[in-house]
Amino acid sequence: MNVYDSARMADTLAPLGYVETDKVDDADMVVINTCHIREKASEKVFSELGRLRRMKETRQSEQNRDMSIAVAGCVAQAEGEEIARRAPWVDVIVGPQAYHTLPELVSKLDPSSRGAVMNTDFPVEDKFDFLPEEHAPRGPAAFLSVQEGCDKFCTFCVVPYTRGAEFSRPVKSIIDEAKRLLATGTVELTLLGQNVNAWHGMAVDGSTWNFGRLLYALAELDGLKRLRYVTSHPLDMHDLLFDAHVEIPQLMPYLHLPVQSGSNRILEAMNRRHDRDAYFKIIERLRHGRADMAVSGDFIVGFPGESDRDFADTLNLINEVKYASAYSFKYSPRPGTPAASDDMQIDEAVKSERLAGLQQLLTSQQQAFNHSKLDQVMDVLIERPANRAGQKAGRSPWMQAVHFSEDVGQIGDIVPLKIVSATQNSLAGQAVI
């Protein structure tokens, strides 16, 4: 979502004459878009701000040129006052629900004064109503944010405090953005939300649609060849969404469905509000509807109170589900969340040992999944030139990175490729003659 937000921030600044640069030395303004989901996020921000301060001072003393520094995103939201206090050389502090006000904040900048202009409100207005249209094409595969915030309050998670309450964009706003993206060469859309399948937006006739219905409507749009969504919550899987996975050809057979733990005791302590059997039933139903459905997940090891038995349940769940890929982390207390003050914190060494065991299992599953595609012909969306000379890179239906000769197709094409080699992280393909 931060990738999407960063692009939208660039859209808001484009009318002021700002263009993007990937060289920080060139920048008149540096925006750090931050994430607060994991430990040490704010330390990283302060260390980066220290580096930028030296750069700003050198710029001023040697070139008599100013450089504005903005901090955006969830660290700005959660620790804006602290940033203003500890880093008075920061000029703008803006939260994730207020970045549509960037032009207004930038217009208030005064190089002669110290201290930041700040907006970390959760505004009553919908920021999407205020964002300008995209100032540049997003490429063949683009993100589209449909839902933000969360009301679920998992006990480890900071999102409900930084992104705010659950909000669903109205149907028209989403469809309009999708049409604009498709008109400028995008063929694959990934719908984004902290709880994307909890989306329930207002349609033009005033009725409320659920997420499955939105997928059906998007699938009707001219030019849409692939559709994905992330991140979903097991509680929000609903009948029409299961149907969509069977009936919508553009909906890719790959779902990121975090479970976090395989222990019912820990799932309850996390306030996930479902048990492992409910998760198994969802996976079974998805795979019953589409035999080629692959699943990825998120796991937290070492949640407060996690016993060896609980951890064994997680390994057992992974063995049952068989993941195509997964993200896994050691639990880190997030300030202000209920689990952070739990006195059953797990020793770091135990967490590290469990994480190593869990990642070994997940890695072997990812390798097995990738190797299962050897000799198969699959459709690959060509996304960009590859880092390696003479090659292009694209994505399989299952989000695998695929490399192949640059002679094959054009960026934005979907081409059939035969998979000739597989590693843990990518596949190599050849044109089918």
**Between 105 and 150, whose beta carbon lies closer to ligand SF4?**
150
Least Cβ distance, residue 56 to ligand SF4 (angstroms) = 35
What gap in Å lies between CA 278 and CA 62, rounded to an integer? Answer: 63
Residue pair 271/248 in contact by the 8 Å Cβ criterion: no
Where is 368: in which H helix or E strand? helix 348-371
Least Cβ distance, residue 270 to ligand SF4 (angstroms) = 8
**Between 4 and 46, whose beta carbon lies closer to ligand SF4?**
4
Least Cβ distance, residue 237 to ligand SF4 (angstroms) = 13
Least Cβ distance, residue 314 to ligand SF4 (angstroms) = 16
**Between 171 and 339, whose beta carbon lies closer to ligand SF4?**
339
DSSP type of residue 410: -
Least Cβ distance, residue 298 to ligand SF4 (angstroms) = 8
Residues contacting residue 77 through CB under 8 Å, at least 6 positions apart: 36, 95, 96, 97, 120, 162, 163
In the complex, which residues of this chain contact ligand SF4 (CB under 6 A)? 150, 152-154, 157, 159-160, 194-195, 233
**Between 157 and 191, whose beta carbon lies closer to ligand SF4?**
157
In sign, the C-alpha dihedral spanning 320, 193, 144, 11 is negative
Least Cβ distance, residue 275 to ligand SF4 (angstroms) = 16
What gap in Å lies between CA 90 and CA 352, rounded to an integer? Answer: 36
DSSP for 245-279, please give it. Answer: HHH-TTB-SEEE---B-S-HHHHHHTT----HHHH
**Between 57 and 151, whose beta carbon lies closer to ligand SF4?**
151
**Between 100 and 256, whose beta carbon lies closer to ligand SF4?**
256
**Between 272 and 373, whose beta carbon lies closer to ligand SF4?**
272
Least Cβ distance, residue 269 to ligand SF4 (angstroms) = 13
Least Cβ distance, residue 334 to ligand SF4 (angstroms) = 10
What gap in Å lies between CA 370 and CA 38, rounded to an integer? Answer: 28
**Between 52 and 230, whose beta carbon lies closer to ligand SF4?**
230
Residue pair 238/210 in contact by the 8 Å Cβ criterion: yes
Q: Which 3 state secondary structure label does DSSP give 92?
A: strand
Output Rg (C-alpha) for the chain, integer angstroms. 23
What gap in Å lies between CA 79 and CA 45, rounded to an integer? Answer: 11
The residue among 165, 49, 38, 24 whose CA lies nearest residue 96 is 165
